[in-house]
Amino acid sequence: RIMLTCGLFDAGNVTSEDIVYTALPLYHSSGLLVGVHGCIMKGATIVLRARFSASQFWDDCRKYNVTVIQYIGEVLRYLCSMPQRNNDQDHKVRLAIGNGIRADVWREFIRRFGKISILEFYASTEGNISFVNYTGKIGAVGRVNCLQKKILRYELIKYDVEKDEPPFGLFCIQSKQGEPGLLICKITQYAPFSGYAGAKQQTEKKQLRDVFQKGDLYFNSGDLLVINNDNFIYFHDRTGDTFR
């Protein structure tokens, strides 16, 4: 997780000259690990706001000369839904780091607020797999990296949405390229899964056993992803009552 934080700021070329703005809660890993820890590692300045305000967001960015902003979920959509202003592009923001932006919001955001690079990533606090879209491909959460795949051993497997489980059989079946599949990642010393404190049943639910052979153990992300023909990775949907 610490490596992901450093990797995100490296991918965005964040330096000690940058001013990072976050209105994310610090009990959330994005606010604390990515925002605060990332700034400490890079020696960058961080501007903290107690609560997100769509109406005050850009005024804050102008006031503090912000160059990097953070987002999660619908934050950028909220900004796009605000009434347009003549000074929408009057700011110094060059980069937005976060996760959960839809492709249509992505397009509208850069159309309205200027050529801001979007560094979208995929990760979860408890998960053992993450992706970073370092290319700027609109809508993608990352791209297949042969080295990462060899080390972390992740796969997309077929998933029965109606039954909320992988199809019944001796072993799981890998999804085809372009087909939605459940993201799983082999639990190893390089990709550990510590589980949920005091929640043994939920911890067990996030582990898949005997996936491709007897005795193997994989982390169940609870997310359906798609890998297209150009090896870009896209978020598709969440499954059932996943536990985050």
**How do 232-238 and 207-209 pair as beta strands?**
unpaired
Rg (CA), the chain: 19
Give residue 17's region: left, alpha or beta (phi > 0; psi -120 to 50): alpha
**Do residues 30 and 101 make contact, with C-beta atoms less than 8 angstroms apart?**
no
Determine the 3-state secondary structure of 81 from DSSP.
Answer: helix
Contacts for 27 with CB less than 8 Å, ≥ 6 apart? none
d(CA 146, CA 160): 28
**One-letter amino acid identity for 19?**
I
Contacts for 241 with CB less than 8 Å, ≥ 6 apart? none
Q: Is the pTM of this model over 0.85?
A: yes
Half-sphere exposure of 228 (CA within 13 A, CB side): 12
Would you list the DSSP string of 88-130? TT-S---EEEEE---HHHHHHHHHHH-S-EEEEEE--SS-S--
**One-letter amino acid identity for 36?**
V
- DSSP symbol at 174: B
- DSSP symbol at 18: -
d(CA 229, CA 210): 29
For residue 244, the model assigns a pLDDT of 41
Q: Name the one residue in this structure whose structure tokens are 């490596």.
A: 3
Tens digit of pLDDT per residue, the chain (244 long)? 666 677 899 999 999 999 999 999 999 889 999 999 999 999 999 999 999 999 999 999 999 999 999 999 899 999 999 999 999 999 999 999 999 999 999 999 999 999 999 999 999 888 999 999 999 999 999 999 888 888 889 999 998 877 777 766 678 999 999 999 999 999 998 889 988 988 888 999 899 999 999 999 999 999 999 999 999 999 999 986 544 4
Residue 57, burial from CB neighbour count under 10 angstroms (0-12, 13-18, 19+)? buried
Please report the domains of the chain, with CATH numbers, ordered by start residue.
2-123 (3.40.50.980), 143-238 (2.30.38.10)
